[in-house]
Amino acid sequence: MQNEIANYSKSEAKRELARLSLLLKRANQAYHRDDDPIISDSEFDKLKALNQEIEKHFPELKRRDSQSQTVGAKPARGFSKIKHSIRMLSLANAFDENDLIEFDIRVKKHLGLPEVHQISYVAEPKIDGLSLSLRYEKGRLIYAVTRGDGEIGEDVTENARTIKSIPEMIESDYDVLEVRGEVYISHEDFLSLNKKQEEKGEKPFANSRNAAAGSLRQLDNEITKHRPLKFFAYAWGEASKALGQTQFAAIAKLNSLGFETNPLTKKTNSIMGLIDHYKLIEQKRNSIGYDIDGVVYKVDDLSLQLRLGFTTSTPRWAIAHKFPAELAWTFLKKIDLQIGRTGALSPVARLEPVTVGGVVVSNATLHNEDYIAGLDSNGGIIRDGKDIREGDWVQVYRAGDVIPKISDVDVSKRIQVSQTFNFPINCPSCNSSTVREENDAVRRCSNFFDCPAQVIEKLKHFVSRRAFDIDGLGEKQIEQFFHYKWISEPSEIFELEENYLQDLLEKDGWGVRSVENLVNSINEKRLISFEKLLFSLGIRHLGEGGSRLLARHYLTWSNFSKAMENISNLESDSWDDLISIDGVGDMLANSLMNTFNSERQKAQIYRLVSKLNIEDQEHRIESDGKFSGKKLVFTGTLEKMSRGEAKMHAERLGAQVAGSVSAKTDLVIFGPGAGSKLKKAEVLGIRAIDEDEWIKLIGTE
């Protein structure tokens, strides 16, 4: 991953950060605010780690809304808000023993201690619930507040008062004591709660964490009262006097004040001790009776905690060692190769069906030949270099809704005659040679035009739901018609009626009615939007998003095709114009160039287009926007918002964002590094403003 990131261009990194920001924001909201997660926790952690890694390589690109620093989501509406007197932070994560060893080294480095020095740590299970801060003043519960975004949480006092393990009064001479911990629900209570939900015809909770969070954040505390919530104390916020000298003593003190604390909390003097305790807790995970998702380690000495302090988002003296994603071992029966519409040979593992995290899995992706050989895309070693073979025992891994992957191979169970899996030198479909281009992990069939597998996949893509979506012409019919040699390229779909109507009527399973329906639905699709057409062409690297960008930019097929005729000249305005489209990268631009450079491919596209009636892209103009009908051009680097965000604001206010300056341009927004476009604007006498002025204009600050 690191190597890959180091190779990112600035614009790639920026785009990736924008994508991750959006994803993480959505996932955060779904998880914390709506209690309805959209991705698995381990997937979330991975995305967050990726985000941080990119920020580390490109600190200058760090977004103002960077999700690396946020913990949780902004509070939901409906509860009043309370600002934490001391920030309520989440913890940094460790995913393996190495991360843990590095954590220990960082701690000692920060404290200026020699590496051989042994630090005392406290380890405790990480409860998968909802964090809560309870404020007691002179022994009385004043308020209870959720973590929220770490700064401000929701006031859930009345609901917290209904939880039995949260005392209303504590015997204490503390003027102020904020007790922090986790609200959770036991497995047993979770099952009966979900049963009741179903009986009432309500949606069951996805997991016990969501059940706990959803119950605590009920606007009606009568409902909360009947939910079996529990509370473990493990930390504190403001305290008018110290709870103890050490973490361990402080937790014991909380226990003596009447709070439940976790009995699996343990003090140890070495990293090995932590690892042992982690293994013990992981073993107990399924019998412990409530959800935990890892083990938390904290420096025991509170004076050291104070010296270590905090980074922007996490304490330096603690780390959460997360359990790995859901795993299961099974038998790999066979490796199949699927040939995609771009000729890519994709290996798929056919598995003895096995349940992984509640879902039956019988296939797993194997990505490409390097992956099978035990190498990542940079030639680095994965799975300790173990290759994957037919007949192997493999560990399947599933995170969220993504396609299952293989995380490990049990080489000890491998039979002696097993052989390494070799990718074929010839295409399994057409026997042409397969090629692997430099810097491409994928091996492809070289017979782009005539490989039956590729042609069929291209046709299937063309009629698929998100493309031409022709009723009655699905994958099965495509295969049939290809087999009859009626259709070998998209344009021939529109000649079917003319050439093969009689033949079709004579085929089994086809009657007058169904043939008529098919002909009608094909003819209906002769009218197609420019955007859909672009996507349907199946040009490599041109997905729906890219098709939309191109359609919005060129507006008509005729503009687009004229431009494509010229892009092979890299000095041309057409090429400049293409690559200046925000969101169009080098890969897509080159792919378009290759497509329109190929006479045969171009001829296919034109044959298709001649049969169609292509709708121009609508200019959607917000008639009451500040920039209604105006053409804007961004140039240079924007420093306070991403290009994407700037474009979003511009379009929201009715503007059309263009990639190049012309006499029709109304306004140019420039940042550092602006060159020829800004000069051109000056020559043409077009108004140009810098980013600060732009921000004032759109009123985001």
**Where on the chain is the footprint of Zn ion (CB under 5 A)?**
427, 429-430, 445, 447, 451
Shorter beta-carbon distance to Zn ion: residue 170 or 478 = 478
Least distance to Zn ion, CB of residue 537, Å: 20
390 close to 334: Cβ distance less than 8 angstroms: yes
Among the options 14, 46, 48, 126, which is catalytic?
Answer: 126
Residue 449 Cβ vs Zn ion, minimum distance, rounded to whole Å:
10
Using the minimum distance from each CB to Zn ion, give the nearer residue, 426 or 676: 426
Least distance from C-beta 483 to Zn ion, angstroms? 16
CB of 426 to Zn ion, least distance (A): 8
- Structure token digits, residue 471: 């009723």
CB of 446 to Zn ion, least distance (A): 8
CA angle 91, 93, 94 (to 5 degrees): 140
The residue type found at 437 is: E
| First and final C-alpha spacing in the chain | 36
Which of 159, 153, 317 has its CA nearest to residue 231? 159
For the bound state, the minimum distance from the C-beta of residue 393 to Zn ion, rounded and expressed in Å, comes to 32
Whether 393 contacts 330, CB under 8 Å:
yes
Q: Which is nearer to Zn ion, 345 or 549 (CB)?
A: 345
The secondary structure of 605-667, three-state, reads HHHHHCCCEEECCCCCCCCCCCCCCCEEEEECCCCCCCHHHHHHHHHHCCCEEECCCCCCCCE
> Which is closer to Zn ion, CB of 132 or CB of 430?
430
Contacts by 680-684, CB closer than 8 A, 24 or more apart:
681/633
Distance, C-alpha 425 to centroid of its chain: 35
Counting Cβ atoms within 10 Å, is residue 96 exposed (0-12), middle (13-18) or buried (19+)? Answer: exposed
E strands along 483-564, which residues?
527-529
Among residues 331 and 448, whose Cβ is nearest to Zn ion? 448
Min dist. Cβ of residue 455 to Zn ion (A): 9
Residue 461 has a CB neighbour count (10 Å cut-off) of 20
Of the pair 430, 522, the CB lying nearest Zn ion is at 430
Looking at residue 31, the DSSP 8-state letter turns out to be I
Q: In this structure, what token pair is assigned to residue 683?
A: 């020559």
CA atoms within 13 A on the CB side of 264: 25
Helices and strands (H, E) in the chain, number of each type: 25, 24
Residue 235 main-chain phi, psi, to 5 deg? -155, 180
Q: Judged by CB, which is closer to Zn ion: 62, or 341?
A: 341
Nearest CA among 313, 405, 377 for reference residue 5: 377
For 151-250, strand residue ranges (E) read 152-154, 176-184, 230-239
Please state the closest distance from residue 422 (CB atom) to Zn ion, in A.
Answer: 17
Give the separation between CA 419 and CA 426, rounded to whole angstroms: 19
| Cα separation values, 591 from 92, 489, 584, 598, Å | 41, 19, 11, 11
- Residue 680 is among the residues annotated as catalytic for this protein: no
Closest distance of CB 429 from Zn ion, Å:
4
User: In sequence order, which residues have a C-beta less than 8 Å from that of residue 114 and are 6 or more positions away?
Assistant: 108
Pick between residue 162 and residue 447 the one whose CB is nearest to Zn ion.
447
When the beta carbons of 126 and 460 are compared against Zn ion, the nearer one is 460
Tell me which residues are annotated as active site: 126
